[in-house]
Structure 1
Amino acid sequence: MGSATTQALEATEAALRAAKGVDLSVARELFAAAQTVGDSSQLSGALADSAAPRTARTAVVAAVFGSFRPVTVALLTTVVEQRWSNADELVTGIEELAVRGASIAGGAADVEGELFRFSRTIADNPELELALGSRLGDTAAKGALIETLLKGRASDATTLIVASLVQQPRERRVRQILARAMGIVADQRGRTVASVVSAAPLSAAQLDRLATALSARYGAAVSLNTQVDPTVVGGLRVQIGDDVIDASVATRLHDLRQRLAG
């Protein structure tokens, strides 16, 4: 990600924080805008062209998305007023804004946890992952499938995020998309996501102690996504972003065998 995009994201996040009336309808329109812009190299190029006058770029937004809600149009206007490193990153910026909007609209719903649980469902079902990730499948059908799978099992915010993202993969794997969405939602809510793998389910007290310790280490509230995997034998494997804390017995045994083998 270029420095221009980093600054652009900061500006759009600030605009979202200041916006009033951000609900699921606004988030849905932002996802639709991301898909429309992403599907048209001509449109994405025009909106990302920093050499073009700012008024020209905002006029394009008004012409293409003028039927959207005023708050949506205002957010999209902020997006195109920024300087982006390239057109793809502009599309990614709109998509991130949509995920953040859905997170806000989700209120107290455990959107991060629901995204994590669905990502585990994908990981455990190769046929489902193949169906959702196939370039040949009908995109609308993929969205409808997600809505069917998550009905009654996840919040409307989570369903919107997943259904929208699987329809615009842009050369990304489904689990990669979900992992990024989890990170965005956690960041929007001022938290950091930690993936925890243990040999057996952890008690509530153990989870509380682990969350407290990780929060102290990283200086932010930490949300735990847990997974049971008997192959770790004992101990824990924790991943936060690119950091991995591996205190599993399986890893220690592997390291010991490596040292003995010279």
Structure 2
Amino acid sequence: MGSATTQARTATTEALASTSGVDLDVARELFAAVGAVSGSSQLSGALSDSSVPAPARAGLVSAVFGSTYRPATVALLSSAAQQRWSNDGQFVEGLEELAIQATSVAESADIESELFAFSRTVASNGGLELALGGRLGGASAKGSLVSTLLDGRASAGTALIVSSLVQNARGRRVRALLRRAERIVADQRARIVATVYAAAPLSAEQQTRLQNSLSARYGSAVTLNTVIDPTVVGGLRVQVADDVIDASVSARLADLRQRIAG
């Protein structure tokens, strides 16, 4: 990712933080804008062309979206369009990230955990992953399938994110989309997501102790996502981004064997 895009993402995140009236309708419009922009190379190119003055790009946003979208949505889209992006593809990804962040702002539920739970469902069901990520099914059919699966099982915000992403996957794998969305929400809420692999479910007391320990280690609030893995013999294996903490019996035995072998 280029430095221009990094700065642009920071600026759009700051714009979201200072924009009032952001609700799920605004987030829904932002996702719709992602679809419109990604579906038109002419529009995405014009809005991300740094050789065009920023006010002109903002004017194009108003001309395209101003008559149908809410003022808050148009303001956020204009802010994103006025930034300098490395290329039009990263501009589209930036808009998508903005839409996910807006959903997180508007929804109080634990979106990270709900996204993780759904990603585990997808991972364990090849037919479902194919139905959501394959090229044969239409976008509306995929959206309807997500609505059916999540109805009464997840918040409206989570359903919006999942439905929007699978309908506009742009060749990306479903599980990768869900993991990215989970990271974006966690970052927006200043949390760290830790995936815990254990042979059996953790008690509430164990979860609290682990969260406190990880929070002290990483200096931030931690959300735990637990995966039951019978191959973890005793203890735990915890993954935070690329950092793996393996306190399982098998890991300790492997370490002991290595020390004996010299």
Task: Give the shorter-chain TM-score range.
Answer: over 0.9
What's the C-alpha RMSD, in Å, of the aligned pairs?
A: 1.5
- Distance (Å, rounded) in 1 between the aligned partners of 2:80 and 2:201: 44
What are the superposed Cα offsets for residues 203-257 of structure 1, whole Å, 9 maximum, x if unpaired?
1111111101111111100011111111111211111112111222233445556
1:129 counterpart residue number: 129
SS at match of 2:231: helix
Q: Partner of 1:83 in structure 2?
A: 84
1:193 alignment partner in structure 2: 193
Instruction: Tell me how far 1:170 sits from its aligned partner.
Output: 1.9
> Partner of 1:102 in structure 2?
103
- The residue matched to 1:232 in structure 2 has which SS? coil
Return the letter of the residue paired with 2:95: I
Letter in 1 for 2:207: L
Structure 1 residues not aligned, in runs of 5+:
none
The residue matched to 1:230 in structure 2 has which SS? coil
> Matched residues in 2 for 1:260 and 1:143: separation?
56
SS at match of 1:42: helix
Distance 1:128 1:259 in 2: 45
Secondary structure at the residue paired with 1:154?
coil
User: Which residues of 2 match residues 218-229 of structure 1 at below 5 A?
Assistant: 218-229=218-229
**Aligned residues of 1:8 and 1:82 also touching (Cα < 8 A):** yes
1:15 corresponds to: 15
Give 3-state SS (helix, strand or coil) of 1:95's partner: helix
Q: Deviations over 1:117-164 (max 9, x none)?
A: 101101111110111111222011101100110000000000001000
Measure, in 1, the Cα distance between the counterparts of 2:224 and 2:82: 37
The equivalent residue for 1:217 is: 217
> Deviations 1:12-68 (Å, cap 9, x if unpaired)?
111101111100000000001111111111111111110112122112211211110
Percent identity of the aligned residues?
Answer: 65
Answer whether contact 1:232 1:251 (CA < 8 A) is retained. Answer: no
Give the TM-score of the pair, scaled to structure 1: 0.95
Deviation string 1:48-99 (CA, Å, 9 cap, x unpaired) is 1101121221122112111100000000000000000111111011101110
2:146 is aligned to 146
Q: Which has the higher mean CA deviation after the structures are superposed, 164-173 or 241-250?
A: 241-250
Q: Residues of 1 paired with 2:65 and 2:243: CA distance?
A: 40
Amino acid aligned to 1:250: S
Aligned 1:250-261 pairs, distance under 5 A: 250-254=250-254
| Secondary structure in structure 2 of the residue aligned to 1:50 | coil
8 A contact 1:112–1:182 mirrored in 2: yes
Counterpart of 2:96 in structure 1: which amino acid?
E
Give 1:259 shift. 7.1
* Match runs of 1:33-112 below 5 Å: 33-66=33-66, 67-107=68-108, 109-112=109-112
- Number of aligned positions between the proteins: 261
Q: Give yes or no for contact 1:122–1:128 (8 Å, CA) kept in 2.
A: yes
Q: SS where residue 231 of structure 1 aligns? A: coil
TM-score normalised by structure 2 residue count: 0.95
Amino acid at match of 1:145: L
Matches of 2:14 and 2:156, distance apart in 1 = 24
